[in-house]
């Protein structure tokens, strides 16, 4: 069943409203008709709705039933990702959303080759947010994971320290995820490097702020493979996959 | 340190020989010099070697030390992958090699949209084998994982039954990997569907042959995300990541 995300003001227990491009999509691309059913998501809740009216401006719907979204993991995972080269962040955002990340925060580290300025990152962030929205619809999420503003290493180290479980994956090794992630953790932040990995001082700064240093085995994972492997393993260890 | 794979006949405990394109690569692209060191891999063993001579035809090397390859997981994992659309198999092969798969076997299932004939698959297989080789060099494997010939569902079901642990990941659900993969399993085969997933009879056929049916959680994973998540989780559960 197609999924659409709406703002709080556009849904209550009885009726829902889908506006703009989504309404056009329902009527023209999906060719849905009056009486057809779809899922409307708002703030982590899924609403099964029936279409009452369709126009290019809006669709009005009747809420048939609702419940907590089944696609949401019980563990809130924030991925801090050092900015990689090219369009790898596109892939990382798309797959992280599928695997259950709640938020993706790009970080500028010493070894980032790609160093977008504020203006060009603003454009990039818009694209990444659209990718997150499309992935959330496609894979059955009940929230749209946020792509955060780009932050510095210092800010990232501080934030890692504030998570219930804060992790940095270091290419030179550390503890295995299975010894570090408590099965009942409700809030986890995991920091992954870009192509060149991390400087030792960066790792030390994160450790000093309370993050645990993780090793992901003896093979060298590409910077777009490491976050996906880490998220999948964490979701498994916490009973969410 | 750069890694090169050679055949058994080209290495012994004292000397090694690197031929052809790899020799050109060492001399011209990498601009290595006499006395430089590199790693030569053969049949799961890593040999640290010193370059004695370089030409466009061959490099001769002295073996300085050798040991079992550190990049190889203790668990032998075979990925059976239903053929996806476009070039997704390229990504799946590359990432599976990084994550530690020993072999990738394409399978033609009922819902495969892409149905290459024998001739066009032969060409595709050559490309996939080159991708596996490059990934193995890059991530530090000590074997080059093989990309198998394309097989039928029936053949795949039979092979799954012969593995110590045989699994099929079903989009409609099954047991979690953490309850199904013994930590000490030495040989595992895992079967992942293409875009449309599996027909129920296909799942039943695999189950009848002894495979366990796996569910990967409540989100719908893309067909290129599912194998990577499954391999990462299995490598974690067996202590290899």
User: Chain A: nearest CA to B139, how far in angstroms?
Assistant: 4
Determine, for residues B219 and A138 on separate chains, whether the beta-carbon distance falls below 8 Å.
no
Token pair for residue A4? 């659409």
Interface contact B218, partner A, CB < 8 A: yes
Collapsing DSSP to helix, strand or coil, A95 comes out as: helix
pLDDT of residue A71: 85
- Cα distance between residue A114 and residue A129, in whole Å: 19
What's the DSSP call for residue A218? Answer: S
Q: Determine the Cα–Cα distance for residues A220 and A115; give it in Å rounded to an integer.
A: 23
Q: Is A202 on the interface with B (CB under 8 A)?
A: no
Distance CA A142, CA A66 (A): 12
Query: B98: closest CA among B130, B127, B140, B44?
Result: B140
* A142-188 pLDDT per residue, tens: 999 999 999 999 999 999 999 999 999 999 999 999 999 999 999 99
Mean pLDDT over the full length of chain A = 95
Instruction: Please tell me which of the candidates A138, A176, A228 has its beta carbon nearest to residue B228.
Output: A228
Please indicate, yes or no, whether residues B222 and B103 belong to a single structural domain of this protein: yes
Q: State which of B27, B48, B68 marks the end of a domain.
A: B68
Same domain, B92 and B143: yes
Query: Is A215 in the B-facing interface, judged by CB distances under 8 Å?
Result: no
Judged by phi (left if over 0) then psi (alpha if -120 to 50, else beta), residue B35 lies in left
Q: Indicate yes or no: CB of A139 within 8 angstroms of CB of B220.
A: yes
Of A68, A89, A105, the last residue of a domain is A68
Q: Does A176 touch chain B (CB under 8 A)?
A: yes
Which neighbouring-strand residues pair with B60? B17, B53
Residues A66-86 have pLDDT tens digits of: 999 888 999 999 999 999 999
The pLDDT of residue B118: 84
Q: Which residues pair with B40 in a beta bridge?
A: B4, B47
For residues B147 and B125, the answer to whether their CB atoms sit within 8 Å is: yes
B104 is written with which tokens?
A: 């990738």
B9-66 confidence digits (pLDDT tens): 999 999 999 999 999 999 999 999 999 999 999 999 999 999 999 999 999 999 999 9
Asked if A1 is an interface residue toward chain B (Cβ–Cβ < 8 A), one would say no
On whether both A108 and A206 belong to a single domain, the answer is yes
Is there a single domain that holds both residue A60 and residue A178? no
Is the pLDDT at A13 greater than 90, yes or no? yes
pLDDT along chain B (241 residues), means of 10: 94 95 93 95 94 95 94 95 95 97 97 90 95 95 96 98 97 95 96 95 98 94 96 97 92
pLDDT at A118 over 90: no
The structure tokens listed for B234 are: 């299995």
The whole-angstrom separation of Cα B40 and Cα A72 is: 46
Q: What is the CATH number of the domain that holds A111?
A: 3.40.1280.10
Same domain? For B129 and B183 the reply is yes
Residue B15 CB contacts under 8 Å (≥ 6 apart), including other chains: B60, B61, B62, B63
Tell me which DSSP letter residue B225 carries: T
Last residue of a domain, one of A68, A89, A124: A68
In whole angstroms, give the CA distance from residue A217 to residue A226: 11
Residue whose pair of structure tokens reads 């449309």 in the numeric block: B196
Q: Which residues contact A1 (CB under 8 A, 6 or more apart)?
A: A37, A38, A39, A48
Closest CA relative to residue A172, chosen from A145, A142, A204, A140: A204
Report the residue from B70, B219, B236 with minimal CB separation from A100. Answer: B219
The angle at the Cα of B65, spanning B4 to B239, to the nearest 5 degrees, equals: 75
Distance CA B100, CA B98 (A): 5
Tokens of B46: 């890593």
Query: Which pLDDT score is estimated for B10?
Result: 96
Domain coverage including residue A231: 76-237
CA A228 to chain CA mean position, Å:
11
Q: Are residues B131 and B199 in the same domain?
A: yes
Cβ within 8 Å of B, A 123-142: 138-141
Q: What are phi and psi of B142, to 5 degrees?
A: -110, -5
What's the total number of domains in chain B?
A: 2
Q: Are both A64 and A81 inside the same structural domain?
A: no
Residues B90 and B28 occupy one common structural domain: no
Q: Are residues A81 and A53 in the same domain?
A: no
The interface predicted TM-score of the complex, written ipTM, equals 0.92
Cβ neighbors of B204 (< 8 A, separation 6 or more) are none
Helix (H) or strand (E) holding A24: helix A20-24
The answer to whether B230 and B223 are in contact (CB under 8 A) is no
- Rg over alpha carbons for chain B, rounded to the nearest Å, is 20
Residues A107 and A158 in one domain: yes
Measured CA to CA, the distance from residue A92 to residue A145 in angstroms comes to 13
Whether residue B225 and residue A98 make contact (CB cut-off 8 A), yes or no, is: yes
Both A94 and A150 in a single domain?
Answer: yes
Name A172's Cβ contacts closer than 8 Å, sequence gap at least 6. Answer: A197, A215
Token readout for A86 is 């090219």
- CA B75, CA B164: separation in Å to the nearest integer? 11
- Residue A48 shares a structural domain with residue A90: no
Query: What pairs with residue A155 in β-bridges?
Result: none
Using the beta-carbon criterion (under 8 Å), do A221 and B98 form an inter-chain contact?
Answer: yes
């Amino acid at each position: 069943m197609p999924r659409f995300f709406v703002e709080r003001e556009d849904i209550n227990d009885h009726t829902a409203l889908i506006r703009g491009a989504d309404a056009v999509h329902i009527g023209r691309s999906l060719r849905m008709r009056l009486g057809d059913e779809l899922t409307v998501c708002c703030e982590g809740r899924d609403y099964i709705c029936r279409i009452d009216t369709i126009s290019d401006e809006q669709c009005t719907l009747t809420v048939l039933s609702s419940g907590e979204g089944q696609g949401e993991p019980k563990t809130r995972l924030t991925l801090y990702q050092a900015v990689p080269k090219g369009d790898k962040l596109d892939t990382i955002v798309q797959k992280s959303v599928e695997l259950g990340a709640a938020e993706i925060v790009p970080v500028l580290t010493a070894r980032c080759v790609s160093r977008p300025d504020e203006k060009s990152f603003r454009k990039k962030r818009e694209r990444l947010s659209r990718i997150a929205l499309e992935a959330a619809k496609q894979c059955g999420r009940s929230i749209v994971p946020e792509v955060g503003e780009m932050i510095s290493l210092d800010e990232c180290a501080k934030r890692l320290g504030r998570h219930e479980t804060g992790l940095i994956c270091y290419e030179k090794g550390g503890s295995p995820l299975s010894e570090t992630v408590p099965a009942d953790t409700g809030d986890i932040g995991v920091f992954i490097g870009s192509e060149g990995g991390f400087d030792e001082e960066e790792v030390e700064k994160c450790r000093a702020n309370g993050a645990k240093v993780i090793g992901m085995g003896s093979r060298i994972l590409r910077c777009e493979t490491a976050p996906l492997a880490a998220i999948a393993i964490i979701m498994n260890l916490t009973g969410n996959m």
